[in-house]
Structure 1
């Protein structure tokens, strides 16, 4: 128990250090870019704010939608503004948070598997959960590496939830065709799930 608490404290301390450096170095004014709740560009499968984009629903059919990004003032009011020059730190911070959350979840299921008081059904469920987490993490890594090697993105962040797959690529712009290609690659890896494609401008 003490070891788990120590690992958790060290992880959170590292996260605080990264965030502290980021906030101290973030510029203001014209260098600020509005981001959504994940700190990423508020554009999904689009070439720019207000332009029409083509998305795909769960059945694979095309769905036309118009994405309009929020204003910088609105983003500032929500505390969601960050600098486009911080994309490296942003990706690293999100990855660290995701890794920490999954590590803690895996520890909980491992405790159930090792517990002498847990029933056979509880242990089987815990084991299945562990395998699911490992499988999802592997698929995320495969898709990230495939997009970087085949499409040439400098960095890619893939996050899988029970509801959808969120793919964020580091790019200054993203065309409709590129977004749809990414969606298809994500579905090839994860199956027919909802896919969100976003982009984050590269560090200048």
Structure 2
């Protein structure tokens, strides 16, 4: 029999658990207090220099849209295989593994884009296809040294040799 103390404990524990899951899954911008003072904490502002906004190139947007459409089409086809009654268990397992691989690859692409943005301050598009990695960077100058540095920083993430190409676009 459950007594009052254990019932009270279970109720509070479940409430704490639900609130902690909610807090963890909440978007981070909702956690920041509203107001202009929080965005400039710890930064020195020079009012003489204009603030430049960073916009993504239309080339990168087009490449991202194309890659996302291709990925969504593949995922839809694989979901169709998974939900079909006529497919075998092996086909469903293969489709599930391909879906996992697509999601892992997309995560790697986003991580590499973030690494290049943090390291080299370049907006990029990264496409991984097997052992080939294609990088399209938005830059006015086409610097061979910068391309080599980008290739080295990408190769650091992998134990096996990858074929990396870097293309600069305006």
- Structure showing greater radius of gyration is 2
CA distance in 1 between partners of 2:105 and 2:166 (Å): 18
CA distance in 2 between partners of 1:174 and 1:89 (Å): 18
SS of the aligned residue for 1:192 comes to coil
Alignment of 1:4-19 (within 5 A): none
Tell me the TM-score normalized by structure 2: 0.62
SS of the aligned residue for 1:181 comes to helix
Is 1:185 the counterpart of 2:153 in the alignment?
yes
How much has 1:89 moved relative to structure 2? 1.6
Alignment of 1:7-156 (within 5 A): 88-153=57-122, 155-156=123-124
Residue equivalent to 2:140? 172
CA distance in 1 between partners of 2:64 and 2:78 (Å): 21
CA distance in 1 between partners of 2:157 and 2:71 (Å): 20
Aligned 8 A contact 1:139 1:189 in 2: no
* Structure showing the higher strand proportion among its residues: 1
4+ runs deviating over 6 angstroms: none
* Structure showing the higher helix proportion among its residues: 2
Aligned 8 A contact 1:109 1:126 in 2: yes
* Unmatched segments (≥5 aa) in structure 1: 1-86
Alignment equivalent of 2:128, drawn from 138, 160, 163: 160
How much has 1:163 moved relative to structure 2? 5.3
Larger relative contact order (Cα-Cα within 8 Å, sequence gap ≥ 6): 1
Deviation per residue, 1:144-180 (Å, 9 max, x gap)? 0111112111x11101123511111111124333211
Deviation per residue, 1:106-155 (Å, 9 max, x gap)? 111111112221111101100110011101111110110111112111x1
CA distance in 2 between partners of 1:172 and 1:193 (Å): 26
* Unmatched segments (≥5 aa) in structure 2: 1-55
CA distance in 1 between partners of 2:144 and 2:57 (Å): 25
